[in-house]
Structure 1
Amino acid sequence: MALPDSGSMQSVSDDPNNPSNWTVVWTELRAPIGHESDKQRWVGYFQPLVHAAGHKQSIWARLRFNPDKVILGTCNSACRDFESSPLAQLFREQLTNDGITFLTCYEFPDDWYHWFQSLLPRRFIYIFWVYFKVPVTEEQKQRVAKSVGIRPPVVLNLRPNQRLQPRLPVKLWATRTEYLHGEEPHIWRDEEAASWRLIKSRHINSFGETNVDKFHGFLRDIGSMEFKEDYCHFEELPRL
């Protein structure tokens, strides 16, 4: 009797090439401004991560409001294996020795792998981090899911190159409950288009609030403890 090929016995739930098994990890780093000016050296810092087993893609961006901080995003099908490996320790030590420190880490199931892979490296991103008390109720989750976030007004006959926001906001919940940072990225065409968020609302009851002010009011109404925001443009980290 011929034994079945081991590959054929692998279930879809165990397949590392199945996007539903990928995890996105976003790490905030404190990095001296200008560290990335030496492109070769900067990319070299992250090679242990890029070469790790299960790695799919890594991107980075320096925040505009907090320019001493960098967001590192990684899509991986074996992120826990890397975190517990000696290679991860070496990776962290190398960054620390050059003045780059780890601040916080957020982990998400990659249900939205398509925006991570195809949109983030090519678009201007505006991000909200929203903090809630534990536990987050189902009612809060449903209200967040129904929120439209910040979206441009509807314009008829809009040409593709005129779109202020080419994709709807993406809402994500962190998988590790000790963090509970809900992130809602807004994907804008560019920095100029993103300035729409500061336009004063013309609604009679808005009291001259900007679109961001109205969104902040919504977040307070659903019981968020705190929220912060920033924006950036991601670049992909190549494999050398």
Structure 2
Amino acid sequence: MTRILSRPPRWDILEKFYRVFDKGRKRGCVEQWQKEMPKNLLEQELFDTKIHIEFLTDRREKLNKEFRWTFANMKKLITMDQRIRELNNEISRTFNATKKDIAGLVAQKHEWYKEYELEAEICPANDWSIAGEHEYISDLLFWYVNWDAINILANTNEDHHERHKAYNVPAWKQMMLIDKFVEDGVTWELDALLYDTDASLYSFKDVVRFRPEQFEVRYKLSF
């Protein structure tokens, strides 16, 4: 299901992009969108979403064609992959420590704590800007990502031992240039951000410009 982001298009940014996109093939699309903009507020929001999705899809296509698999870019992707693995390991440690603490409480006859569930999810932190990118585009990319498809929810009722290894996916053609990914695979989250076009509209360049601290773990404890 497409998320509706109630934000009017920045026509100046769209016009600048479509002047050069695919040799100007869609140069007149911005003017056409302006003419077709509905008067009804709800229809406007739906139309805004349609425009934004098309723009971000075209943008990703352009940037991915221009992307170069340099050593520096590969190193940044490995850094992001390692950050995700670190967070998954943090989740495992927290789950194990929680189980130990709860077992201690139950042993002390605090039976109320016996039935519990701790959930954990790797999520974007509050700052989700992209270095060198306009805030408008950073916001659009963030809002239109299907984070539920990228971030796998884990809980204490499942086996979480080295969880990131269980969800490794085969390295894609470009990833085969990176020995570390050939050996260890790529974490689910990083692969989804780069290649799952149904979940992510981020380009390779966007992911390279992420900062490791923009990912964090969020927990939910219930009894």
After TM superposition, the score normalised by the length of structure 1 is: 0.25
Q: Which has the higher strand share?
A: 1
Q: Which has the larger radius of gyration?
A: 2
After TM superposition, the score normalised by the length of structure 2 is: 0.27
Q: Which has the higher helix share?
A: 2
